[in-house]
A and B are shown apart, each in its own frame.
Chain A
Amino acid sequence: MPKLDISYKDLKQLFGRDISIRELEEESLLFIKGEFDGIDNDTLKVDCKETNRPDLWSTEGIARQLKGNHGIEKGIPQFKLKPSGIKVKVEKGMEKIRPYIVAAVARDIKITEDLLIQMIQLQEKVCLTYGRKRREAAIGIYDLDKLSPPIFYKAVAPDGIKFIPLESDKLMTPREILQRHPKGIEYSHLLESFQKYPIVMDSKNEVASMPPVINSDYTGKVTDKTKNLFIEVTGLDKGVVMTALNVVVAALSDRGAKLESVEIDYPDARVISPNFTPKKAKISISYINKISGLNLKNSEIKILLEKARYNVKITNNIVELEYPSYRQDIMHPVDIVEDIIIAYGYNSIEPIIPEISTVGDLDEFEVFAEKVRNLLPGVGAQELLNFTLTNKDMLFKKMNLEESEIVEIANPVSALWSSLRNWNIPSLLEFFTKNVSQEYPQQIYEVGDSVIIDQKAETHTKTIKRLAWAEINADTNYTKARQVLDYVLRSLGISDYTVEDAEHNSFISGRVGCVLIKGRKVAYIGEIHPQVLDNFNLKMPVSAFELNLTDLYEILE
């Protein structure tokens, strides 16, 4: 979600009218899915929730949209464009590296501080969010007067050329940039796998940039002395690069720049950019009213769509639309319906409680688990809710166990939470450690999920719900644990269970049992091994059991 800094004064100037902060916050920003995050002097903080409309990520774009919604302009925004005569020649082979480039010229521009801030912010947000961190769109802006067209988009060997990149004063080869320049290091993963790297240069072999990494210091620096701009966007999808270019130059045009188009000569095709030819769509009145529920008349729909900056023609209850070329977010008529509802105003709608008659119900297994949960307070046990994330140390080493296969996180934030638990008793012992100074006896339980590996399952894992119970007290013992387990099982109507001798290194040998129901192992029960207690820094005996409710439920079914 792009977070934007907007100059309030600048916004009012571009909008063409005064508008209060309150009106912006409560009404106008809603038209751009903007959330007001405060104002600091003249700087409005706006969080634009619309991640698919880069045209809204600048003061210019916001003002353009609001002019429609507030009735200052209507229909599709107009941009003047004439040919510059400049060509970009794309060398063969680029299709295997970074296939697409588009470009434009913006002349007679007055570079003000507001413009510069917005241009840089827009460029950054577009490359980051819409361009997926420059992978799919990277934008370069240059001083046109320092370039000698035609412009070439070609591939060079890692050591095949030298230029001074921005934020440096040394001549560097592309390889050196990727290894040493901060931006080179940051974006090297986008180029590393190629034999040759993309370069934009002019007819005098002056390098403009190495997309998507960095511009040259000479041509790629825009200052208040710059009069004419050359803008290019490179990327992997022709639609995405064109949208990014259209968005950036539309904003410059809103500030009075004279836009000129550039001819892109691919080895097998020719493209003129930018492209402001409106896109077209059709939608039926009935679909609009079905989804919105608003029962709008045709004339109302026309007004709302014009506010949302569409050109509209309605014939036979079919709406024919034209909308700006920079809008790549409209994939389906439903996207247009949302624009209509936003223009109508979400808070102008009278909500209707749906009358759909269904019978509600809880999940049957959850009901079973809940029955078990409700049993334990009866024996004096306190219920817990623990995290399922833990680590191998906790599950194996501290529990005196050999490691076995469990779910492991590839990118943990902390080593403490790098695995999912495969049983619950370790969480209970950890809880005891945190509460050694609390009053004894401490009797606790948790009915919670753990995850085991199951190669046959669709997710190669199985989520198991288990009841773990434990008591820490000077005189706790196997009998106590067994009494509690017996109470739980009897309450669930199970009396024909057996407990067999078991080997389990977390418990004291000879004081650990395995509980079987209809021949299936459903629980371990016993006194926790003193070495385990020591590992958890516990100075008092613990008895515990862990009952597999997922299996138990299956057996009872």
Chain B
Amino acid sequence: MSHEDIISKLHPLERKVLPLLEQGISFDTLLAKATSMKEIELMRALQWLENKKVIDLKVDIKEVVDLDENGKNYLAEGLPERRLLSQVKKNTKVADIDITKDELSAALGILRKKAAITIEKKSEGLFLSITPAGEKSLQKESLEESFLKKLPIELKDLKDEDKFALESLKQRKRIIKTDIRKIRTIFLTSVGKEIVLKDLKKVSSSIDRLDPAMLQTSSWKNKSFRKFDVSINVPKIIAGRRQPYLEFLNDIKRKLVGLGFKEMTGPLIESEFYNFDVLFQPQNHPARTWTDTYHLKYPTHGILPDKKIVNAVKSAHENGGSTGSTGWHYNWNPEIAKQLMPRAHGTALSGRQMAKGIKIPAKYFGIARCYRPDVLDATHLIEFNQMEGFVADDTINFKTLLGMLKQFAIEIAGATEVRFYPDYYPFTEPSVQISAKHPKLGWIELGGAGIFRPELTEALGIKVPVMAWGLGIDRLAMFKLGINDIRYLFSSDLKWLREVKLV
């Protein structure tokens, strides 16, 4: 590109900056000189000039320790331990000391470590007494205090005693922070050196911006437009978008509707009746215990449905009802069934739907928010979505169950191969677990399925076989969204949400 070419493409901001440039000038100095420009404008102009190879922007990174919010206050009014200690005499009642609760516990810990105070617990509360060591420490400035006065300071300039103070202050809430600061210096390139000498005004008579007045008066005719550098980077736009995991789920919902499934929904708080009893899961089943499921402190009990259903479920559990099953041989307790809990699994939805009554043939699916006592980490969620469903028809058998699962694996998970494993669920027999071979992920456990036990379906008045399925789609979602941390499905990271690739 010739110099003229470059000059013709210069943006008004670039034109403003160019005359101010000197070899090796720092960004801050330049900003002070460019009085009519905002910082962001200056930055953009420099970046464009760099793109045009007129200047080199050199960036040095400095790590600087500075005061954080609490640190600023403490510098003015003193660290909590000093303020506390200065109020302690002999047998000073803690309640009488002027200090906030948060500061108190931190300060007590520090002073006790330094043996600056003794603590006594009496019936009227805690009492503090200052020790000789405490008296002494009041007289002199601590390492932490002298360190705070030095801030801001560059990390590489820290002395040993500073490092000690830094470590101890880092443990405490918002006293100090480490900032990364960029120091920018501008150097003119050989092209730049020549261009700054040229008269920029001479070539700046072209039209910079087409405005409505020009169009009304046709004054644009016979004039030229300033050339733009179309290869330039522009600032990102912030737009509103849908949540990517919900979009993934929508995609799967569409596929299931396409396969003829109707959506079912249900409440987040369920009775044990729908969570377990309707599903023929005995009341002493290990999965119903306190450690495996949440229980409620309030409200504790709900109301059971229609007596007819309740009695049918009761006899299915106790003696198999009219199915020819032996049942589980125990006294079914309606009080246990009334207990409330957050929905434990998606099958509760299927139980509810079947209890409501269905028309054969029936195909249903649901995406159910479920809850299990777990900690939140990269592989566990405290609540999660399960995708569940069932098909009721007289033609259902184990072969068609496998057929449906294979169809799911191919259509929904994009699998190329499937394998089936015998499995156990209290509410299905026969039961199967399906693994699917995904072209990129390899073999993944896709879900569990089976034919609902007759004790379950017949108690709800359903006379045909019902096949039930549940798909674990979160791994697939994670793969599609390119994440390794499952928490991102419920992401609280705005930057990620704004920038993640759509699925």
Contact = CB atoms under 8 A, between A and B. Distances in A.
A341 interface: yes
Interface stretch (B194-202, B206-214, B222-230, B415-423): B415-423
Interface in B357-389: 361-363, 369, 371, 373-376, 382-383
A386 B490 contact: yes
Contact of B382 (A129, A387, A461): A387
A349 B498 contact: no
Contact of A354 (B267, B369, B403, B430): B403
Nearest to B249: A385
A132 B286 contact: yes
Given A333-B324, A387-B383, A431 B403 contact: no
Contact of B453 (A334, A441, A449): A334
B454 to A, nearest CB: 6
A79 to B, nearest CB: 23
A248 B397 CA distance: 36
B466 to A, nearest CB: 12
Interface stretch (A144-152, A207-215, A451-459): A451-459
A406 B330 CA distance: 35
A347 interface: yes
Given A293-B398, A362-B257, A381-B240, A33 B301 contact: no
B264 A363 contact: yes
B299 A453 contact: yes
Given A292-B397, A349-B398, A463-B269, A409 B295 contact: yes
Given A354-B395, A361-B257, A49 B268 contact: no
B398 A362 contact: no
B4 interface: no
A104 to B, nearest CB: 23
B384 to A, nearest CB: 10
Interface string A64-96: 000000000000000000000000000000000
B325 interface: yes
Contact of B261 (A335, A360, A412): A360
Given A49-B424, A380-B238, A389-B371, A291 B324 contact: no
Given A458-B303, A458-B305, A409 B396 contact: no
B66 interface: no
Contacts of B406: 351, 353
A352 interface: yes
A435 interface: yes
Nearest to A50: B424
A334 B420 contact: no
Given A353-B406, A384-B497, A388-B268, A347 B327 contact: no
Contacts of B491: 384-385
A382 B494 contact: yes
Tell me which of B259, B305, B382 has the highest count of chain A C-beta atoms within 10 A of its own C-beta. B382
A542 B330 CA distance: 57
Interface in A117-161: 129, 132, 135-136
Contact of B298 (A30, A359, A405, A449): A405
Contacts, number: 280
Interface string B434-471: 00000000000000000101110000000001000000
A332 B429 CA distance: 10
Contacts of B375: 413-414
Interface stretch (A164-172, A178-186, A370-378): A370-378
A360 B363 contact: yes
A386 B492 CA distance: 8
A408 interface: yes
Contact of A443 (B240, B421, B432): B240
A194 interface: no
Nearest to A455: B299
Contacts of B259: 360
A488 interface: no
A338 interface: yes
B333 to A, nearest CB: 15
B473 to A, nearest CB: 15
Nearest to A418: B297
Contacts of B238: 380, 439, 441
Nearest to B396: A354
Contacts of A388: 268, 369, 383
A332 B241 contact: no
Given A50-B424, A356-B395, A459-B270, 4 more contacts: A338-B422, A349-B402, A361-B262, A460-B301
Interface of A: 1, 30-31, 33, 35, 49-52, 129, 132, 135-136, 237, 239, 290-294, 331-335, 337-338, 341-342, 346-347, 349-363, 365-366, 370, 373-374, 376-389, 405-414, 417, 420, 430-431, 434-435, 438-439, 441-444, 449, 451, 453, 455, 457-463
Interface of B: 238-243, 245-246, 250, 253, 256-265, 267-271, 284, 286, 290, 294-303, 305, 320, 323-330, 340, 342, 361-363, 369, 371, 373-376, 382-383, 391, 393, 395-400, 402-407, 419-424, 429-433, 451, 453-455, 465, 489-495, 497-498
8 contacts: A30-B422, A353-B400, A384-B491, A431-B492, A434-B492, A434-B493, A435-B492, A438-B495
